[in-house]
Amino acid sequence: AQSVTQLDSQVPVFEEAPVELRCNYSSSVSVYLFWYVQYPNQGLQLLLKYLSGSTLVKGINGFEAEFNKSQTSFHLRKPSVHISDTAEYFCAVSVDSSYKLIFGSGTRLLVRP
């Protein structure tokens, strides 16, 4: 069965520093990968997605992620974070063009001044 592992439950970082949020998935078939962000008391919104093509995917708010098939990873990065990036970030996988998303446990990004 497919699964998603987010290795860090919380990542504290200072404002303007770079950040990487890690995501690994397990699946033996083709996958589609997503990162969603959840601000307090709100629903999830899409940051970026990988369906096919270039393995480096750019999303909103300056975030990007790289699909690495050999390492089954899809880590999220931003070169310089802002206070407003403080939120919970979820990695998700959809298998074989299914519309069913499996989410990781989430990583709380805490940006400090």
Partner 1 sequence: DAGVIQSPRHEVTEMGQEVTLRCKPISGHDYLFWYRQTMMRGLELLIYFNNNVPIDDSGMPEDRFSAKMPNASFSTLKIQPSEPRDSAVYFCASSSKQGALVAFFGQGTRLTVV
Applying CB under 8 A, the residues found at the interface with partner 1 are 32, 34, 36, 41-46, 49, 51, 90, 94, 97, 99-106
What 3-state DSSP class applies to 22? Answer: coil
Q: Considering only CA atoms, which of 82, 73, 93 is closest in space to residue 1?
A: 93
Is the CB of residue 50 less than 8 Å from the CB of residue 44? no
Closer residue to partner 1 in complex, CB, 17/51: 51
Cβ-based burial of 4 (10 A; exposed 0-12, middle 13-18, buried ≥19): buried
Is the CB of residue 60 less than 8 Å from the CB of residue 47? yes
- Name the minimum Å distance from CB 71 to partner 1: 23
Closer residue to partner 1 in complex, CB, 9/84: 9
Closer residue to partner 1 in complex, CB, 73/94: 94
Closer residue to partner 1 in complex, CB, 15/64: 64
- Name the minimum Å distance from CB 53 to partner 1: 12
- Name the minimum Å distance from CB 88 to partner 1: 10
Backbone dihedral angles phi then psi of residue 88, each to the nearest 5 degrees: -100, 135
- Name the minimum Å distance from CB 45 to partner 1: 7
